[in-house]
Structure 1
């Protein structure tokens, strides 16, 4: 969570207010490693070229869309007399403060050096929505550059074979056997498995595998309904990473998948 310091260097309208939220990769870099030319020029114009030269990279960012004082979100963690220490040591918010932060309305914004924002990106919505499973993406059928016909569609549960924590930019906790999974639908599981792995170098030691595939549903809409049922239950029993991705116990993920109506012939 980013807030404006009560300092002459901070614009008055931002002082002591929550400005936004950042998702970072927890490794050290220099400011020049991931700063735009405009950003570095701004530092130089302020005479700050030798300040704040060490950094950690930001991968996602959300702008707060409502004026809100820091004390409303972190009444216990934040203390005005300890502002500098808080900035240096970055103490975690208390659970009740996290709940307050997740209610703040935000808009996701682009980050220099990162991929363009997905469409649709979060806009003027409670921050908690950034970490909820997405709704099943509705299929479209008809003429575009080709004709796409509806028909039998399977639901799949893909499992990442490799260090899923590393893929998330996190250190793997000792003895944690959680796996990274993706739920989705497709009418061609072989093609979909290939698509999921196109972004990895051939020499990569991690890849997605189609761990579980349902019996075909009558059409894409039925498969999407099954996918949403998995997401709803996965949000309770697994850790949602947003979109179609979850982290958690593999056995639990399999049980959720197997319990969805229509996954097997016997379940229909």
Structure 2
């Protein structure tokens, strides 16, 4: 199996489901017509699972979308109704087609990515797309095999906003290969040009930020992250300024904010960059990756691990052991 599949969390399953269309900007849920169908899937799915959506073979599906992979939904374990997570145009469409009694039992969707290139679904998931599985994948969802999962996650995608979820700015919507986007990100390598060398090659800091209110404030009220801390790790020559930039993405009256918990200065950008990647690799093993530079874990454990890591990277100062910690 490829590196992409091996690096992903083993408990993140990928399912296949048919839709007439794909408009997550207007419908932020995975819908089921009958409640037992939803409950069956909630028993099988895990919070954070992905559902690969393809265009159903039906006259209601745009011809260019039939049998095409359209995008990925990241589901939560939270129940909802269709009206809770549908914009007026989505409800209007259902009413126009006499579908107000369909897909009313929902599961909330947290994030969505559209597949960038057109690809036929039978080339990705030939077993799941077999005719004998038609009823399962059109009314509930069918689990992809490990090989199908690997192929599905190898396609380029771009993230879009989800109706009912906080809006994400265009600059922060992720783009890339699906599998890579779910792995902890690597820090940007330092670039020391003549014009910026004096500024960039100075002191640089690793930082640990924690979301006030716990992980469920952003990741939903169900799943293994409930009761855990959500943290962001990174590198900056000014962690306090970076904190303001990160919090600038929240509304002024928002109920959650990032807090700068700890930071550690290193003598130059190259050293800080190297330690940043090492820290993310460590956190990926020790804690639960939420993609990019975000992780969930027990608050005290993750704070202590950050401190231990930073201390281990500081030079020993025999005459002043207290200063060797360097922890702010």
- Aligned pair count reads 258
CA distance in 2, matches of 1:97, 1:47: 35
Q: Where does structure 1 lack aligned partners over 5 or more consecutive residues?
A: 141-148
State which drifts further: 217-226 or 20-29.
Answer: 217-226
**TM-score relative to the length of structure 2:** 0.60
State the shift of 1:127 in Å.
0.8
User: In structure 2, which of residues 225, 231, 245 is the aligned counterpart of residue 181 of structure 1?
Assistant: 231
CA distance in 1, matches of 2:155, 2:214: 33
The DSSP-based 3-state class of the residue aligned with 2:59 is coil
State which drifts further: 229-238 or 239-248.
Answer: 229-238
Residues 187-231 of structure 1 show CA distances to partners (whole Å, capped at 9, x for unaligned) of 6667877987896999x8998572x543x2124554334213322
State the shift of 1:18 in Å.
1.5
State which drifts further: 5-14 or 151-160.
Answer: 151-160
The DSSP-based 3-state class of the residue aligned with 2:234 is strand
CA distance in 2, matches of 1:66, 1:177: 39
Q: Find the counterpart in structure 2 of residue 263 from structure 1.
A: 313
Q: Find the counterpart in structure 2 of residue 62 from structure 1.
A: 113
Residues 50 and 251 of structure 1: CA distance in aligned 2, closer, same or farther (over 3 Å): closer
Residues 72 and 261 of structure 1: CA distance in aligned 2, closer, same or farther (over 3 Å): farther
User: In structure 1, which of residues 227, 245, 248 is the aligned counterpart of residue 294 of structure 2?
Assistant: 245
2:40 counterpart of 1:40: no
Residues 233 and 253 of structure 1: CA distance in aligned 2, closer, same or farther (over 3 Å): farther
Q: Where does structure 2 lack aligned partners over 5 or more consecutive residues?
A: 1-51, 192-198, 318-323
CA distance in 1, matches of 2:112, 2:268: 37
State the shift of 1:99 in Å.
1.2
2:273 counterpart of 1:224: yes
The DSSP-based 3-state class of the residue aligned with 2:143 is coil
State which drifts further: 216-225 or 48-57.
Answer: 216-225
State the shift of 1:259 in Å.
5.0
CA distance in 2, matches of 1:177, 1:117: 28
RMSD over equivalenced CA pairs, Å: 4.2
CA distance in 2, matches of 1:135, 1:252: 19
Does the 8 Å contact 2:240/2:260 carry over to 1? Answer: no
CA distance in 2, matches of 1:196, 1:261: 26
User: In structure 2, which of residues 161, 173, 187 is the aligned counterpart of residue 110 of structure 1?
Assistant: 161
